[in-house]
Structure 1
Amino acid sequence: MSHIRLTLASTAAAIALVGCGHRMHHDHAGMQHGAMNPNAAATAPAKVSASTPTLAGGYKKVEAPATAKLYFVNLGNGATVSSPVKVVFGLSGMGVAPAGIEKAGTGHHHLLVNVNEWDANAPLPANDNFRHFGAGQTEVSLDLKPGQHTLQLVLGDQNHIPHHPIVASERITITVK
């Protein structure tokens, strides 16, 4: 019984620390990299198919808590940056696990670069526009050409399929000088 109490106390302490870390990162978003444009117009969302809990072939999608949030720690809509662009991924309400590992409450990051449309009921493709971080990475340094680019984070399960409900960041536009 004392082991259970200790585990619960440790879990509560870890959750409290994660919560504090999330607020700290969120409060500093945009201050670490790139000039922010407070007047930037909101970026239009990508066209995404409606998420279904079970796919046509019978695959049951991994559930995500409604409180899960995915966000950019160091970039915001309208940021002006230089290449290479450091992108730090933020996640609260869930954990990160490598691709291929089935563990409740976890997933791994995918960064969508200049993607206008994607399917919430299929594995995310792997290419220059759909970048996979299947080893559990939480940041990347991107070489991007000068100009405007859209970025969006999507959490995928062990098979690169978005969770149900979808866990995705807002879609932002950055300008690379």
Structure 2
Amino acid sequence: MLRSVRYIFVPLLLAGASVTALAQSTAPRVFFVAPADGATVSNPVVVKFGVEGMAIKPAGDMTSNTGHHHLIIDGDPVPAGQVVPTDDTHLHFGKGQTETSVNLTPGDHTLTLQFANGAHQSYGPAMSQTIKVHVKGR
């Protein structure tokens, strides 16, 4: 009888542990460590980036499930597979940086954090986050 219980209990215990592990795993995401959404800030604006579920690698490294950050000022997330443009409103952090300082004109702005692979191809809106900030005038 004890042997029968063991044959039933152990597989059930392992199955329960597997389901729990799956339930606790989260989808990859990027997020702003700072500033907070809706914050009132002063220049220079310190922006800190975070990522979970993927590793940060420099531009050119095409290892699966890796990439680097891009900061989009007053723009939308880049669709999946498209290359993040290089211009004054799309800032690239291809060395794997997780922090920067930017000077913005006084007023309201949106900041979008976009994660992309080693070829700067966007992972799309699922790997982006947009916040609003208000930059104080002098």
- State the TM-score, normalized to the length of structure 2: 0.74
What amino acid maps onto 1:173 in structure 2? K
Structure-1 separation of matches of 2:33 and 2:93: 16
Q: Match of 1:69?
A: 29
In structure 2, which of residues 61, 78, 87 is the aligned counterpart of residue 101 of structure 1?
61
The CA deviation at 1:127 is 0.9
Change over 3 Å in CA distance of 1:164–1:145 after alignment to 2:
closer
The question of whether the paired residues in 1 share the 8 Å contact of 2:77 and 2:112 is answered with no
Structure-2 separation of matches of 1:149 and 1:164: 21
Select the structure of larger CA radius of gyration: 2
Alignment partner of 1:173 is 2:123: no
Structure-2 separation of matches of 1:76 and 1:116: 18
Structure-2 separation of matches of 1:164 and 1:87: 21
Residue correspondences, number: 112
Change over 3 Å in CA distance of 1:101–1:116 after alignment to 2:
closer
3-state DSSP class of the match of 2:34? coil
Unaligned ranges ≥5, structure 1: 1-64
Structure-2 separation of matches of 1:101 and 1:155: 14
Structure-2 separation of matches of 1:87 and 1:156: 18
The CA deviation at 1:77 is 1.7
Q: Match of 1:127?
A: 87
Structure-2 separation of matches of 1:94 and 1:84: 29
The CA deviation at 1:165 is 7.7
The question of whether the paired residues in 2 share the 8 Å contact of 1:66 and 1:165 is answered with no
In structure 1, which of residues 117, 136, 151 is the aligned counterpart of residue 96 of structure 2?
136
Structure-1 separation of matches of 2:72 and 2:93: 11
What amino acid maps onto 1:74 in structure 2? A
Alignment partner of 1:150 is 2:110: yes
More strand per residue: 2
3-state DSSP class of the match of 1:140? strand
Unaligned ranges ≥5, structure 2: 1-24
Q: For residues 133-174 of structure 1, what are the alpha-carbon distances to aligned partners after superposition, in whole Å with 9 as ceiling and x for unaligned?
A: 0111101000111111100111000111112684112x1110
Structure-2 separation of matches of 1:116 and 1:102: 24
Where in structure 2 are the equivalents of 1:2-41 lying within 5 Å?
none
Q: Match of 1:163?
A: 123
- State the TM-score, normalized to the length of structure 1: 0.59
**C-alpha root-mean-square deviation of aligned residues, in Å?**
1.9
More helix per residue: 2
